[in-house]
Amino acid sequence: MFHSPYKWCFLVLVIASPLFVWGGPDLYSHRLLTELWNLGHLVFFALFVVLLDHYWYSQQRSKFFRIFATLIVLLSIGLTTELIQFGIAGRYFSWIDLCRDISGGFIVLFWKISQKEARVQGALFRLIALLLLCINMIPLLKISFDTYHSYREFPLLAGFEHKTELSRWDGLARLSLDSQIHLQGNYSGKIELGTEQYSGVFLNQFPRNWSNHKALSFNVYNPGPSLQLHYRVHDNLHSGDFQDFSNRFNGSSVLDHGWNEIIIPMADILHGPQNRKMNLDKIQSFGIFVVQQKDKRIIYIDNVRLQQ
């Protein structure tokens, strides 16, 4: 039935279209899986332009028409899909995804145009197509680089020696590298805490199996007066339990001025949930935060690690 490659493209597009609103990775999915999923925008619209430009070319449209008409179509469809996702729970509008949509289409379009151009012009169009492809592959390469380092450095979970480490973290507080205050290496993580009800950072990307270790420890530098710091650890079962407070490990410590070392025995994490034991081989997140601070504060975190 589907003998023409264009028919196969059409079939793939029809099957893949629902994925814009259904399925996909969540917050705790592996970063590589998430980035590969995001690159689906690139692939989808590349295939779409294979069909679209086949039609333009069959109508003997000029090169300039194909470029500008394709841009308008890609913008229209890309914006529409992003606006639809904006109204769906768990989805959001993303300018980056819109750029991926346009890039995917123009990688194919410029490459096809280059086949019919003179040598110099054709090389220019191919160069632009390759640049677009390389730019869109940069996030995947960065994540691959940091994933390699995270497994190589384990049981160190975060040493803040590479800027790519910041992609392991999430949260409302701003996190950046700082070279002035650090305990090990040349950098620490500078956390700018706000006055929201909960302000902090969460480490979501790391090797999940903590079962062979005796403690989780980290160091925090407090440049100001004493501060109550809360921390939490949860596993895969907590993620599907509406973030119930009693279904995870919760703790807190008072940070004195200067460096503070916090050590959490793995036994405490194991028995953190009230009615069960923590899945130590499926840990998904570790977070530190403050609660309803009157003033903005800055703290520095370093040497987040598991102890044998």
Asked whether the beta carbons of 154 and 207 are under 8 A apart, the reply is: yes
Please tell me whether residues 113 and 168 are part of one structural domain. no
Element (H, E) at 115: none
pLDDT: is 280 or 13 the higher one? 280
Please tell me whether residues 266 and 148 are part of one structural domain. no
Share of the chain above pLDDT 90, in %: 69
Instruction: Give the Cα separation of 1 and 104 in Å (integer).
Output: 27
Strand partners, 220: 260, 301
Mean predicted confidence (pLDDT) in 294-299: 95
User: What three-state secondary structure class fits 258?
Assistant: strand
Q: What is the pLDDT of residue 134?
A: 96
Residue 177 to residues 38, 124, 141, 204, 242: CA-CA distances in angstroms? 26, 39, 20, 18, 32
Mean predicted confidence (pLDDT) in 271-299: 94
Residues comprising the chain, all counted:
308
Please tell me whether residues 232 and 100 are part of one structural domain. no
Which of residues 152, 174, 198 is at a domain's end? 152
Which of residues 100, 134, 152 is at a domain's end? 152
Mean predicted confidence (pLDDT) in 46-74: 92
Q: What is the pLDDT of residue 269?
A: 96
Q: What is the pLDDT of residue 109?
A: 95
Domain assignment of residue 46, given as a range: 5-152
Count of CB atoms within 10 A of residue 43's CB? 14
Count of CB atoms within 10 A of residue 110's CB? 22
- Residue 182 confidence class, pLDDT cut points 50, 70, 90: very high
Instruction: Give the Cα separation of 267 and 212 in Å (integer).
Output: 11
Please tell me whether residues 145 and 167 are part of one structural domain. no
Please tell me whether residues 23 and 133 are part of one structural domain. yes
pLDDT per residue as tens digits for the range 208-248: 999 999 999 999 999 999 999 999 999 988 866 566 888 99
Residue 32 to residues 39, 76, 140: CA-CA distances in angstroms? 11, 29, 7
Q: How many domains does the chain have?
A: 2
pLDDT: is 96 or 243 the higher one? 96
255 has a pLDDT exceeding 90: yes
* Residue 278 burial class via C-beta count within 10 angstroms: exposed 0-12, middle 13-18, buried 19 and up: buried
- Residue 102 confidence class, pLDDT cut points 50, 70, 90: very high
User: What three-state secondary structure class fits 182?
Assistant: coil
Segments in 23-168 forming alpha helices (H): 31-38, 40-58, 63-86, 95-114, 119-153
**Considering only 83-92, 165-174, 187-196, 225-234, which range has the smallest mean pLDDT?**
83-92
Please tell me whether residues 172 and 243 are part of one structural domain. yes
Please tell me whether residues 117 and 140 are part of one structural domain. yes
Please tell me whether residues 204 and 233 are part of one structural domain. yes
Q: What is the pLDDT of residue 1?
A: 44
Q: What is the 3-state secondary structure (H, E, C) of 263-298?
A: EEEHHHHHCCCCCCCCCCCCEEEEEEEEECCCCCEE
Please tell me whether residues 118 and 223 are part of one structural domain. no
**Considering only 84-88, 128-132, 283-287, which range has the smallest mean pLDDT?**
84-88
Please tell me whether residues 118 and 201 are part of one structural domain. no
For all residues of the chain together, what is the average pLDDT? 90
Q: What is the pLDDT of residue 241?
A: 54
Please tell me whether residues 20 and 35 are part of one structural domain. yes
pTM: 0.79
Domain with residue 257: its CATH number is 2.60.120.260
Please tell me whether residues 123 and 139 are part of one structural domain. yes
Which of residues 120, 152, 184 is at a domain's end? 152
Q: What is the pLDDT of residue 33?
A: 86
Helix, strand, coil abundance in the chain, percent, nearest 5: 45, 25, 30
Q: What is the pLDDT of residue 89?
A: 63
